[in-house]
Chains A and B, each alone.
Chain A
Amino acid sequence: MWQLLYNRKVIDLAVQLLMLIVIVSMVFYFAINAAENMGAAGITTGFEFLFDKAGYDISYSLLDYDPRTDSNLDAWLVGSVNTVVFAILAIILTTAMSLLLALMRLSSNWLLSGLAYTLVEYVRNVPILIHIFVWYAAALALPSVKQAISFGEVVFLSNRGLMLPSLECNYLAWESVSLAAMLCLGGWLVRVKLSSKIWRLAAYFMVLVAAFASIEMISITGAVIVYPELRGFNFQGGMVLPPEFLTLLIAVSSYSAAHGSEVVRGSILAVSKGQTEAAQAMGASTHLIMRKVIIPQALRSIIPPMTSVYINVTKAAALGSVIGFMDIMGTIGGSSLNITGQAIECIMIVMVTYTVLNLCLAFLMGRLNRNVQLKER
């Protein structure tokens, strides 16, 4: 009997059981309290509120959204799409800017590397909230619509945001384009898994068909490029990126690029010097050495830390709530929560959405990482 106390397996099991009991009882305790408190406050529970009318406006939405008819679920969708679009644009900008800053910092030109050093160190060591406030003040100080800064009469910048030309076409065409894009992504993801050549060819063929079909769709339905035009007090036509979105995009991507550039610089410096010297001995130009020798090897150590920079970019979309850009945190975790009072459900949805988004991002980056890793045979 006493021997049981010294048996490792028994101790292990007991410790784990104890932990499980503690966690489960804590969860129960909190759940009972929550049920009591919500009952007292007259808050309903459950996820039915998702189908009720949202009743609040979303300042910037890429999907059609009408607060009078659309539900909280639609608001969540709008918020998620805002987050995803923001994340994609910000990740592209971050990557480009980190590469640029890292190369500037590594330049043999003292002035150029000094400038990059100052910029990176300044931006890195100041909280992102300050960046957002400063860029927002700058965006609101832009000239009014009447005196908008014009870039070749196609793109306009004013305190109402950035006006871009847009591609206007039938709903059906958009559907097929997005379907084709999804097929392409799917084909790219499964192409390694497909072992037989015929299946792989079939996958490529399907992607091709989808691409052709969508191009056909666009030409049949008649797509037109609409340029923004000043009419009355505002621009008509085209696409508008409002100042809140622009501010957040620039603030977040410059802040992350300052962090990212250190990652890139460290990885480039970590590529052994013998590689560069060998390439120089072969007569390769600096540009060619960078492109063919250094960058492919540096990528191996860039991608894992860059993934966490990208995840931070995605999470930073939540900071848009300070200037009125609504992402998941602003829609379902903000206004919906305040109106319905169903805090637990709303925060749960927010957490699940962010976790899923970031897991997808981590999965894609993991894929990319496996592709660039050294293949040892």
Chain B
Amino acid sequence: MITQITAVASTQAKRPVVRKSARDYLYIIRRNLFNSPVDTIVTLAISALLITYIPLILDWLYFSAVFSGATRAACNPSAACWIPIINFMDYYIYGPFPIDQRWRVDTSFVLGLLAFPLLFSQRMPQKIILMYIFLLPLVLWALLKGGVFLSDISTTALGGMTLTFFLGIIAMCLSLPVAIILALGRRSRLPIIRWVCSGYIELVRAVPVLTFLFMASLMLQLFLPGGVTIDVLFRILFVLVFVSAAYKAEIIRGAIQAIPSGQIEASYAMGCGYWKTMAYIVMPQALRNSVPALITNFIGLFKETTLVMILGLLEVMGVVRATFENAEWIGMHVEGMVLVSFFFFAICFSIAQYGAHLERRIKRTKY
């Protein structure tokens, strides 16, 4: 099998390289831009649009924009003013985190970013990956929130990109095991477990996340014995974990269903029980095949963390908007929104590209 594949690969590599002449390039351009009269009109219209607007936008963003100065007087009213953004950059990244403790944030950023190549790598043994998934939220919590080895940081001191990363990555890691349990429960042969899991998944998917977030911030106190309070950060994390677990459960259920039932029957025939079959036969394949969809889900979750702003937690959008309530820089929301949207675009787009790359690789390895 492997020799065959390498043989195919080598014939592909030996394909003669044809140098394209100028006429070929002209032909390609004509075929892709001026194929028909309508095509020509569309091409010309879009070019006209781009030629008029792109210079204006670039001018606003960069060429006429002001990057250094101290007060608002230094700004150019007809272009972007990046002074507050540059001045407050540290605040956007770390939020009100104590300055002498910032190394903790830096360490957790590195650990969180390391998760991606590691979590979704296919050469790593899955045991290490799973260990990392389980340990990462605990380590992040210990680093950012403290309390165990390091000094405790109050919830109000967490903000900006730190909080966004914190919520996104912890919710992603913790919701995965919950989702696996829900997915297995929905396919269980025991009716009560099946009904409970399906009911939970369907209810959570039908109701906006905002409702659950409001519930966590307003209602949870009611259900606890008097005097017990839970930190708001913990409540929000709880909601994010359990809501996104319902969406992930459907992804994983789809992947489980795609596994040929012959494999499961064969495993039972070999004398493996339910849990062994699931742990060694079904889940390794199902999880690997659901990685692209899980990455898409993670992007959605990461974008959804902005909703905690409505509850008064200052994540990246909250801190950026807060600076423009400052009397000096009031009303400069456009620059702030450009920054935040660029921040999210850069992160989500690169994760999406990585997911697409993995999807192609998974397709290639299927024989």
Contact = CB atoms under 8 A, between A and B. Distances in A.
Interface of A: 12, 15-16, 19-20, 23, 30, 33-34, 36-38, 40, 108-112, 115, 121-122, 124-130, 133-134, 137, 311, 315-316, 318-319, 321-322, 329, 333, 337, 343-344, 347, 350-351, 354-355, 358-359
Contacts of B337: 130, 133-134, 137
B208 A329 contact: yes
A33 B223 contact: yes
Nearest to A308: B205
Main secondary structure of the interface of A (DSSP, over half): helix
B39 interface: yes
A112 B215 CA distance: 45
A41 to B, nearest CB: 9
B33 A111 contact: yes
Contact of B222 (A33, A112, A134, A350): A33
A109 B303 contact: no
Nearest to B218: A343
A347 B341 contact: no
Contact of B207 (A109, A322, A344, A350): A350
A126 B310 CA distance: 17
B259 interface: no
Contacts of A36: 225-226
Given A347-B214, A347-B215, A108 B206 contact: no
Interface in B316-360: 317, 333-334, 337, 340-341, 344-345, 348-349, 352
B169 to A, nearest CB: 16
Given A122-B345, A126-B303, A137-B334, A355 B223 contact: no
B191 interface: yes
Given A319-B210, A347-B215, A111 B47 contact: yes
A344 B211 CA distance: 12
Contacts of A358: 205-206
B219 A347 contact: yes
A23 B193 CA distance: 11
Given A12-B190, A19-B196, A344-B222, A351 B211 contact: yes
B266 to A, nearest CB: 20
Contacts of B207: 315, 350-351, 354-355
Q: Which of B47, B190, B193, B208 has the most CB of A within 10 A?
A: B208
B214 A126 contact: no
Nearest to A359: B206
Contacts of B349: 121, 125
B46 interface: yes
A133 B306 CA distance: 12
A344 B43 contact: no
Given A12-B190, A110-B33, A125-B344, A350 B225 contact: no
Interface of B: 31-33, 35, 39, 42-43, 46-47, 50, 189-193, 196, 202-203, 205-211, 214-215, 218-219, 221-226, 299, 303-304, 306-307, 309-310, 317, 333-334, 337, 340-341, 344-345, 348-349, 352
Nearest to A141: B334
B353 to A, nearest CB: 10
A318 B210 contact: yes
23 contacts: A12-B190, A16-B192, A33-B222, A33-B224, A109-B43, A111-B42, A111-B43, A111-B47, A111-B50, A122-B345, A124-B348, A137-B333, A137-B337, A319-B208, A329-B211, A343-B218, A344-B222, A347-B211, A347-B215, A351-B203, A351-B207, A354-B208, A358-B206
B309 A129 contact: yes
A321 B311 CA distance: 12
Contacts of B39: 108-109
B345 A125 contact: yes
A128 B303 contact: yes
B206 A311 contact: yes
Contact of A126 (B32, B43, B221, B345): B345
Contacts of B215: 343, 347
Contacts of B193: 15-16, 19
Nearest to A111: B46
A40 B42 CA distance: 69
A301 to B, nearest CB: 14
A283 to B, nearest CB: 18
B222 A333 contact: no
Contact of B218 (A16, A321, A337): A337
Contacts of A354: 206-208, 211
Contact of B46 (A112, A315, A316, A351): A112
Given A108-B31, A121-B349, A130 B341 contact: yes
Given A15-B193, A108-B35, A122-B345, A130 B214 contact: no
A355 B190 contact: no
A355 B206 CA distance: 5
B306 A127 contact: yes
